[in-house]
Amino acid sequence: MSTSKALGPHNFKTISYAGLEKGPKLIFLGAVHGNETCGTQAIGRVLDDIDNGRLPIVSGFVTFVPITNPLAYARGERAGDRNLNRNLYPVAQALDFEDHVANWLCPLLAAHDILLDLHSTRAQNPAFAMLGPENNSGTLQPYQHKDQERSMALRLGVNRFVDGWLSTYARGVERRTKHADPGRTLSTLSTDPRYGVGTTEYMRSVGGCSITLECGQHDDPASVDVGYRAILNTLAHFGISAAPAPAPVTTYEALRMYEVHDRNHADDTFCKSWASFDPLQKGDLIGVRHDGTKLVAEADGCILFPDAKAEPGNEWFYLTKTIPQI
């Protein structure tokens, strides 16, 4: 076991274990957002299992980061100076605390093969996993590990999967920039496609395989159980631990993000109080623009991340469509 620390009073801490046999290098993150502590607690339970001999690490290499953003965690807030899970790249000159985190975290991710990042949500939603793209050689998010990633996803212990994040975000940036009100200054971050890059997107950009797991509601003890089970299943799936390999789920919901709508005006309003994963049928009314334009669902699926308090010029809601399989 090894521990590394840096940066004054807000230490970055990692705990790593190596097995006797060869195998992949896995990394688990908790508290990328400081008020999402289920990952921190789940990792703590797994570390206790390992240190007390209940979970032998027999092959490969595994790193745990219980608190990825210590400033946000100390405050009990989503962010320290800004959202760590956006625009995540090493920088030559750190301008805020999250830049310091990025300069430490990005090389750490690049030194591993597989990432599971544990999060939670404000709403009381069932757990779900955010997946990467299809295999492709494009410029936005080239990727060749879809099969490995999907195999891992099916063994996390959850039954809902969503993909299409970065490509949908990039389309939103393109529209936002093209149709911006000349009288309103847009944030540089909100018009940069790289702002959609967080931990899993960065991991894929350096050749790794990665999944974001939303374990449930922030304060629900069951969210910790979801994260704990997912870590154990992942370690067993890749042969890092000596536990039996978990079986894949066979019944699940698969969704693909295909559209994001910004709130263009303070008088843009939803037609009802929406929550993530509220179902939609093609043609359902979602909201009305200040000029009377109606926004409707273009396909059967769900609404995702609706934000009734979104500032003009920022994401208002995402749309997903149902797909047959991940």
Contact 200, 210 (CB under 8 A): yes
Residues 32-57, mean pLDDT to the nearest whole number: 98
Task: Say yes or no to pLDDT of 89 above 50.
Answer: yes
Encode pLDDT of 92-101 as tens digits.
999 999 999 9
Tell whether pTM > 0.95. Answer: no
Angle between helices 221-237 and 146-153 (to 10 degrees): 130
Contact 67, 103 (CB under 8 A): no
Residues 288-300, mean pLDDT to the nearest whole number: 96
Please provide the average confidence, as pLDDT, over all residues in the chain.
92
User: At 184, is the pLDDT very low, low, confident or very high (cuts 50, 70, 90)?
Assistant: very low
Residues 169, 272: Cα–Cα separation, whole Å: 24
**DSSP letter (8 states) at residue 244:** P
pLDDT at 190: 59
β-bridge pairing 209-217 and 279-280: unpaired
Residues 39, 36: Cα–Cα separation, whole Å: 7
What's the alpha-carbon Rg for the chain, to the nearest Å? 20
Task: Say yes or no to pLDDT of 11 above 90.
Answer: no
Domain 15-251 class in CATH: alpha beta
CATH number of 258-322: 2.40.50
pLDDT at 4: 43
Instruction: Please report where in the chains the tokens 């769900």 appear, as a residue.
Output: 302
Range with the lowest mean pLDDT among 129-133, 158-162, 307-311?
307-311
Encode pLDDT of 114-148 as tens digits.
999 999 998 888 999 999 999 999 999 999 999 99
Domain boundaries, the chain: 15-251, 258-322
Task: Say yes or no to pLDDT of 32 above 90.
Answer: yes
User: At 183, is the pLDDT very low, low, confident or very high (cuts 50, 70, 90)?
Assistant: low
Residues 278-286, mean pLDDT to the nearest whole number: 96
pLDDT at 185: 47
Q: How many CB atoms lie within 10 A of CB 226?
A: 24
Range with the lowest mean pLDDT among 59-73, 94-108, 182-196, 293-307?
182-196
Q: How many CB atoms lie within 10 A of CB 298?
A: 14
Residues 299, 316: Cα–Cα separation, whole Å: 18
Range with the lowest mean pLDDT among 68-77, 124-133, 187-196, 228-237?
187-196
Angle between helices 221-237 and 38-51 (to 10 degrees): 50
Amino acid letter for position 217: Q
pLDDT at 311: 87
